[in-house]
Structure 1
Amino acid sequence: MIVITAPTGNIGRQVIQHLLMSSAPIRVIVRDPSQLAEDVRDSVEVVKGSHGDPGVVNEAFSGADAVFWLVPPDPKAVSVKAAYVDFTRPAAAVLKEHHIKRVVSITALGRGSPVADQAGFVTGSMAMDDLIASTGVAFRGLAMPSFMDNIARQAAAIRDQGKFFLPISGGLKLPSVATRDIAAVAARWLLDESWTGQSEVPVLGPKDISFNDMAEIISDVLGKAVSYQQISLDAYKARFVQFGMSNAMAQGMMDMAWAKDQGLDLAVSRTPDNSTQTSFRQWCEDTLKPACSAEPIFPIRH
C-alpha cells in the first residue's frame, strides 16, 4: 500500500496518474474527496482529512508500506517552522508505530550551501527532512530547485504586460524543473521496493537557465515580446502580504528568493542521473501557452 498526501495538488495528482499505471494499491489523504478526479476516486482508498492531523495519519498509515510526503501550502502559518516541521510532527510520530518501510518526500535543494540556514521555505523543508529522517525510516528527499510551473502563476502579467517579475538576477543561470518530471521521479522511488537508507535525490531539470533565457523562449513560443524584470525583495514580499499571506510566510518567500540569488540552487553538481527531460521550451508549449490564453483570476501588481 502506498499512501499519497496532497493528492489534488500539482505534483500529487501527477504522482497518482503514474501509480495508477501499476498494480500498486493506493491510499490518499484528502480534505475534500470531491476534488479528486472521478477515475481516481474509483481507483484508490480515501482517508478524509488533513495529513497534519494525528488521527488522520494514524488511520492512513495503518498497513501501508510507503508514503509520499508533501506539505501543502499554508500561506497564513505563524512561521515557516510551523508550516513545515510542526505540520509534519504527527506523521513522524506514527511512522515507526505502523512500520512504514519507505518515505519519499518533496523537499528543496540547498543542503550544504553557506546560505542554507537563511533560506526561508528551503530552510524549513530541510528541517522537515531531518525530522522524518530522525525516525529511522528509509527516506529519499527529492530535492528541488524552482519549478517551471511557478512561471504560469504570472500568466496574466505575461499576456497583458509582456513581463514577468521576480527578485532574482536575470542573468543568473539556475536549475529549473517541470512538475511532470518531479512526479515521474517520485513514482519510480515509490514503486521501487529495493532501496534502504536515507539520502537526498536532486532533481534538476534538463539544464541551468536564466530568467532572461526564459523570457526569450517565452517570446518565441507566444509569438510576442516578453521580458523579465527583476524587482526588489521588499516589493516581492509586499506582493504576498497583499494577497493575504502572513508576514512570517511572506518573509520566508523573500528569504528563499534572496538565497537563490546567492546561488543556493547551485550547491549540487549536475549529472545525467539528476537531470530530467522536460525542457523549458516544451513546458512553455504544453503549459504556459494555454495558461496565457485563459482569463486572469486577478491582476498581478508590483
Structure 2
Amino acid sequence: MRIAVTTPNGNVGRHLTPMLVRAGVKPLLLTRHPEKVPDELARHVDVARADSRDSDQVVAATPGVETIYWVDPPAESADPLADYARATEAITSAVVENGIRRVVFQSSVGAEKRHGAGEIDGLAATEVALDGLEADVTHLRCGFFFANLLLDIESVRSGRLQTVQALESPMSWVAPRDIAEVAALTLLDRSWTGRRVQAVHGPEDLTWPQVAEILTAELGREVRVDRIPDEEMYHRYLSVGMPPAMADAVLGMSTGLRDGFVPEQQRSVVTTTPTTLRAWIREELLPVL
C-alpha cells in the first residue's frame, strides 16, 4: 500500500510520519523543503519535492500512490481563499490523473457550514470537491489545536490572552498528535469506503476561562483571557502585517463558529481523544517558554 503524506513537518505531519514508519509503512512525503526531513527518518521514507498548491508538482509526485493524507497549506497570500482553491485543484488533479483511490483530508470543525467561517471556507471547498470524485474520502473535522497557543506565544508569556469568542462558550480543543493517531489508523484501515466524516474533538470541551486556569496552574503564574471586539482584533491583525483579506479570513474562523453554531458531529467515544491540555502544555509549551 503506497501512502503519501503532505506537510510532513507540520503540526500533525511530524507525528503522523513516524507513526506510519512504526507500522511498517515507508511513506512518500510531499514537501516544499525535503532538506527539513529529519535525518533519523530519511532512510525510512521516500521524499518528493512538491508544493501542495502546484497541481503539476503534486501530479508528478504521486503516480502509484493508493492513499494520501492531504492537508491544505495555511494561506500565505493576500487572497487566502484563492490559496485554498489552488490546493484543492492540486489534490483533485492528482486523484483524477493518477487514480488515487483513497484520501484522508485534514479538515476542521466548522467546514460543515460551507460558508461564513473565514479560512475554514477554503477547507469546506476542498471537502466538496473531493466528494465529487470517485475516490473514497474521509474528512477529519478537527477541533481547535492546542498548538494554536504557540502562535501567540508572547501573549502566553505576558499572561494575557485575547479572543473574540464568548468566554463561557465551550469548544473542542485537541492535540495535533491525537489527530495524527486518528489519521494513521484511518490510512491503514482498508475496510472503509465512500464518503466519511470523522470528527477529532480532543478529551473535553473547554471554555477560555478553563484554558486560562489550566495555563495558570501549569505555568505557575497568572494567565487571564479577555474578550475584545471583532474590530479591535481585526486591526490587531492588520498591525502585524496581515493583508485585509487575510485578516478577514483569520477573524472569520472565530466569528463564524459562535452565536449558536453547533458542530455537525457531536462529541462521542468515536470523536474523543486522550491527550489533555495539561499534558500538552508540559510536553510542548513549557519547553519553548
Q: TM-score, normalised by structure 2?
A: 0.94
* More moved, 82-91 vs 95-104: 82-91
* Cα displacement (A) at 1:193: 1.8
Which residue in the other structure is 2:255 paired with? Answer: 258
**Aligned-pair identity (%):** 28
Which residue in the other structure is 2:151 paired with? Answer: 153
Q: Is the counterpart of residue 279 in structure 1 residue 276 in structure 2?
A: yes
* Cα displacement (A) at 1:101: 1.5
* Cα displacement (A) at 1:265: 5.6
Q: Is the counterpart of residue 99 in structure 1 residue 96 in structure 2?
A: no
* Cα displacement (A) at 1:264: 3.4
Contact 1:76–1:244 (Cα < 8 Å) also in 2: no
What is the rounded CA distance, in whole Å, between the counterparts of 2:80 and 2:10 in structure 1?
A: 22
Which residue in the other structure is 2:70 paired with? Answer: 69
Contact 1:133–1:198 (Cα < 8 Å) also in 2: yes
Distance 1:263 1:291, change over 3 A: farther
What is the rounded CA distance, in whole Å, between the counterparts of 1:61 and 1:109 in structure 2?
A: 28
Which residue in the other structure is 2:49 paired with? Answer: 48
Per-residue Cα deviation, 1:166-205 (whole angstroms, up to 9, x for no partner): 2111111111111110111111111112211112111111
* More moved, 90-99 vs 274-283: 90-99
Moved over 3 A (4+): 263-267
Contact 2:237–2:247 (Cα < 8 Å) also in 1: yes
* Cα displacement (A) at 1:83: 2.0
* Cα displacement (A) at 1:286: 1.6
Q: Is the counterpart of residue 23 in structure 1 residue 21 in structure 2?
A: no
Tell me the amino acid that sits aligned with residue 41 of structure 1. A
What is the rounded CA distance, in whole Å, between the counterparts of 1:130 and 1:210 in structure 2?
A: 31
What is the rounded CA distance, in whole Å, between the counterparts of 2:136 and 2:264 in structure 1?
A: 24
Aligned partner of residue 48 in structure 2, secondary structure:
strand
* Cα displacement (A) at 1:20: 1.0
What is the rounded CA distance, in whole Å, between the counterparts of 1:248 and 1:89 in structure 2?
A: 21
Per-residue Cα deviation, 1:78-99 (whole angstroms, up to 9, x for no partner): 142x122232203202313322
Contact 2:117–2:255 (Cα < 8 Å) also in 1: yes
Contact 1:170–1:212 (Cα < 8 Å) also in 2: yes
Distance 1:236 1:42, change over 3 A: farther
Per-residue Cα deviation, 1:4-47 (whole angstroms, up to 9, x for no partner): 11111111111101111022221111111111111222221111
Aligned partner of residue 190 in structure 2, secondary structure:
coil
Tell me the amino acid that sits aligned with residue 92 of structure 2. A
What is the rounded CA distance, in whole Å, between the counterparts of 1:105 and 1:168 in structure 2?
A: 26
Which residue in the other structure is 1:8 paired with? Answer: 9
Which residue in the other structure is 1:189 paired with? Answer: 186
* Cα displacement (A) at 1:120: 0.9
Which residue in the other structure is 1:142 paired with? Answer: 140
Tell me the amino acid that sits aligned with residue 19 of structure 2. H
Which stretches in structure 2 are left out of the alignment for 5+ residues? none
- Aligned residue pair count: 288
Relative contact order, CA 8 A, sep 6+: which one is greater?
1
Contact 2:53–2:90 (Cα < 8 Å) also in 1: yes
Contact 2:160–2:226 (Cα < 8 Å) also in 1: yes
Which stretches in structure 1 are left out of the alignment for 5+ residues? 293-302
Q: Is the counterpart of residue 127 in structure 1 residue 125 in structure 2?
A: yes
Q: Is the counterpart of residue 235 in structure 1 residue 236 in structure 2?
A: no
Distance 1:58 1:112, change over 3 A: closer
* More moved, 83-92 vs 177-186: 83-92
What is the rounded CA distance, in whole Å, between the counterparts of 1:262 and 1:38 in structure 2?
A: 47
Contact 2:78–2:244 (Cα < 8 Å) also in 1: no
Contact 1:175–1:265 (Cα < 8 Å) also in 2: no
What is the rounded CA distance, in whole Å, between the counterparts of 1:30 and 1:237 in structure 2?
A: 32
Distance 1:274 1:259, change over 3 A: same
Contact 2:80–2:119 (Cα < 8 Å) also in 1: no
